[in-house]
């Protein structure tokens, strides 16, 4: 039999003490916490439908597609060879193949086809798996998924656009929507002078027959090759939500001009653009002057995706670090046998377990809200905010620690960890950076006392099982009783503590005692540390490590 593996006998030395070449993996079968969470919370069809996706995303072929899409970022083409405006972005074939896999799999539409029956759990679990191939292409997938609640604000627009959104087809051609088999959606809200303070937007909308004309700029427009963009502009009634298509109703290219693509730290496979509306045609959606209230339906969906993506990246980093340390020797024994390394990997594994549990609990709240369950509706208002804030705060340090497990090779672009490290901050910034998210949390708690009650129910379900959690809950009750002006300077602490306590409550109820007890002691107890790898004395490392998978 021929040896087709890379040569390890080189001119001056033999390559030894290195992990075996990457091979096909089953991301679903290897992920015990994910499978347990789905078995616990989701209908059986969800795991059955996800199984082929787990095998596909873990294959060498798809992993190489992710690397190629990241290595060859999108290119802007403003004009054709004869000087006519194109305003197009050209993507590498690997990006298109990843988009095809996602949209033909229906993962952008499953939440709405199976709404209230596990659809949101299927979408979130799929996003978690697809992120482990390449996070960048998940952005247009997320926005396409998230546009549906806003389209529902206008029956006429929903009738025209929803069939294309729900189609299991990826059609990247620059054509009017009536000529396409499937549609994608983007978002363009922020402007230079306001950023997250979108009420300072200056883009203006003027009536033009049955539609509107937009004039102004947008500082960030993600996925600029989308077929339509949800956007905000000022009218005489105030800030209003609009749908701006890439083509006018007459089939002409809309006056949406791309100024440049952002040269981002990470998220390289996905294009983000600065654009100008030069009298661009648009449809109004929702109540005039209530643009923020209208588009928040989309933002709630994108925030849950932005909360889940870092957990997927952390899972990928954990798997890479675990694979390395089990095959690499140092100082006479495998790294995976050395107590300090075992503590680091076990701590990373705890973070992933907690992130999976909280992300899927939030997705279940969305499905419950769709069924009209009052408790789940109250949770759905607050969980995306908490989850997005905390998971993203944990991500960058997690990636740095995973890189360190590999040593120097972890810091070079040939491993996925450097790419994941550059990617780690993006979801914390998009859809509301940390301070914005924490202020939103205070607003939800002030305006929706039922959300506080629902959170208390979830938290106290774990009461009486673990001392550190009980003490943390008692202290938090004191914090929640404070007036809002006193809470604002401590809003980050409150968001962190609520998220950690909710993670602890979920783990105590649903995971082995070794996992839950160690999580509580290392996150809520006197031995808690901001650094990974600092676990309490006597932590059951073997039991925690046994749950990582191959």
Which of the four pLDDT bands, split at 50, 70 and 90, describes residue 277? very high
Domain ranges of the chain: 32-166, 177-290, 293-545
- The pLDDT of 307-311, averaged and rounded, is 97
Does the pLDDT of residue 484 top 80, yes or no?
no
- Please give the structure tokens belonging to residue 135: 């996070």
**pLDDT by residue (tens digit) across 63-85?**
999 999 999 999 999 999 999 99
* Residue 251 or 199, more confident: 251
Q: Which of 107-111, 114-118, 336-340, 443-447 has the lowest mean pLDDT?
A: 443-447
Task: For the chain, give the percent of residues with pLDDT over 70.
Answer: 99
Domain 177-290 is found in CATH 2.60.40.420:
no
Q: How confident is the model at residue 206 (pLDDT cuts 50, 70, 90)?
A: very high
Quick one: tokens of 41? 């919370």
Classify each residue of 10-34 as buried b or exposed e, where b means 16 or more C-beta atoms within 10 Å of its C-beta: eeeeeeeeeeeeeeebbbbebbebb
- pLDDT given for residue 234 in this prediction: 96
According to the model, what pLDDT value does residue 478 have?
Answer: 84
CA 527 to chain centre: 30
Render pLDDT for 39-69 as a digit per residue (tens, 0 to 9). Answer: 999 999 999 999 999 999 999 999 999 999 9
pLDDT digits over 518-536, tens only?
Answer: 999 999 999 899 999 999 9
For the domain made up of 293-545, give the CATH fold: Butyryl-CoA Dehydrogenase, subunit A; domain 3 (1.20.140)
* E strand map for 50-203: 75-79, 85-90, 185-188
Provide the pLDDT confidence category of residue 363 given band limits of 50, 70 and 90.
very high
Does position 466 have pLDDT exceeding 80, yes or no?
yes
Residue 51 — φ and ψ, nearest 5°? -55, -50
Share of the chain above pLDDT 90, in %: 88
The region of weakest confidence among 122-126, 365-369, 546-550 is 546-550
pLDDT band of residue 432 (cuts 50, 70, 90) is confident
Specify the residue for token string 């968001």.
495
The DSSP string of 327-357 is T-EETTEEGGGSHHHHHHHHHHHHHHHHHHH
DSSP-based three-state secondary structure for 235: strand
Residue-level pLDDT at 2:
58
Q: Is-contact 271 224, C-beta < 8 A?
A: yes
Cα distances (Å, whole numbers) of residue 398 to 267, 272, 350: 18, 26, 11
pLDDT at 1 over 60: no
Mean pLDDT score of the chain, rounded to an integer? 94
| Tokens coding 443 | 């607003």
Closest residue by Cα to residue 291 from 204, 385, 161: 204
- Over residues 304-320, the mean pLDDT reads 97
What average pLDDT does the segment 490-500 reach? 95
Residue 3: per-residue pLDDT: 62
pLDDT tens, position by position, 442-462: 999 889 999 999 999 999 998
Asked if residues 65 and 137 have their Cβ atoms less than 8 Å apart, the reply is no
């Amino acid at each position: 039999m021929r040896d087709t593996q890379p040569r390890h006998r080189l001119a001056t030395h033999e390559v030894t003490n290195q992990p075996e070449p990457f091979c096909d993996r089953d991301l679903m079968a290897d992920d015990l916490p994910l499978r347990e969470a789905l078995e616990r919370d989701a209908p059986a069809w969800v795991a059955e439908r996800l199984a082929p996706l787990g095998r596909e995303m873990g294959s060498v072929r798809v992993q190489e597609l992710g690397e190629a899409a990241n290595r060859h970022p999108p290119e802007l083409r403003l004009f054709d060879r004869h000087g006519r405006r194109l305003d197009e972005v050209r993507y590498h074939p690997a990006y298109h193949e990843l988009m095809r896999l996602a949209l033909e799999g229906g993962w952008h539409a499953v939440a709405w086809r199976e709404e209230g029956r596990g659809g949101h759990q299927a979408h979130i679990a799929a996003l978690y798996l697809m992120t482990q191939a390449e996070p960048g292409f998940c952005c247009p997938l997320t926005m396409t998924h998230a546009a549906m609640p806003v389209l529902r604000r206008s029956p006429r627009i929903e009738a025209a656009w929803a069939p294309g959104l729900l189609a299991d087809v990826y059609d990247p051609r620059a054509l009017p929507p009536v000529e396409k088999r499937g549609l994608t959606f983007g978002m363009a809200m922020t402007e230079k002078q306001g950023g997250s303070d979108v009420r300072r937007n200056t883009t203006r909308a003027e009536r033009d027959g049955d539609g509107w004309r937009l004039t102004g700029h947008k500082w960030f427009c993600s996925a600029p090759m989308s077929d339509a963009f949800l956007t905000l502009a000022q009218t005489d009634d105030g800030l209003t939500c609009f749908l701006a298509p890439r083509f006018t109703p007459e089939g002409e290219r809309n006056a949406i001009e791309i100024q440049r693509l952002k040269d981002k730290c990470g998220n390289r496979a996905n294009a983000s653009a600065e654009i100008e509306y030069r009298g661009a045609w648009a449809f109004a959606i929702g109540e005039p002057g209530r643009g923020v209230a209208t588009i928040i339906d989309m933002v709630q969906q994108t925030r849950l995706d932005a909360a889940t993506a870092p957990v997927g990246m952390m899972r990928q980093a954990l798997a890479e670090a675990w694979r390395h340390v089990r095959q690499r020797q140092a100082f006479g024994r495998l790294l995976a046998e050395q107590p300090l390394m075992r503590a680091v990997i076990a701590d990373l594994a705890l973070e992933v377990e907690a992130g999976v549990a909280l992300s899927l609990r939030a997705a279940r709240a969305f499905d419950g809200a769709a069924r009209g369950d009052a408790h789940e509706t109250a949770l759905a208002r607050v969980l995306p905010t908490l989850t997005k804030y905390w998971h993203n705060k944990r991500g960058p340090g997690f990636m740095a620690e995973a890189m360190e497990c590999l040593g120097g090779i972890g810091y070079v672009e040939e491993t996925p960890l450097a790419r994941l490290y550059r990617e780690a901050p993006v979801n914390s910034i998009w859809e509301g950076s940390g301070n914005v998210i924490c202020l939103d949390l205070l607003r939800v708690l002030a305006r929706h006392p039922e959300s506080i009650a629902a959170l208390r129910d979830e938290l106290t379900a774990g009461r009486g099982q673990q001392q550190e959690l009980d003490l943390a809950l008692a202290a938090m009750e004191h914090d929640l009783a404070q007036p809002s002006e006193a809470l604002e300077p401590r809003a980050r602490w409150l968001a962190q503590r609520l998220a950690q306590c909710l993670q602890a409550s979920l783990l105590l109820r649903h995971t082995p005692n070794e996992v839950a007890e160690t999580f509580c002691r290392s996150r809520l107890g006197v031995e808690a540390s901001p650094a990974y790898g600092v676990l309490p004395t006597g932590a059951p490392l073997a039991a925690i490590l046994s749950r990582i998978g191959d």
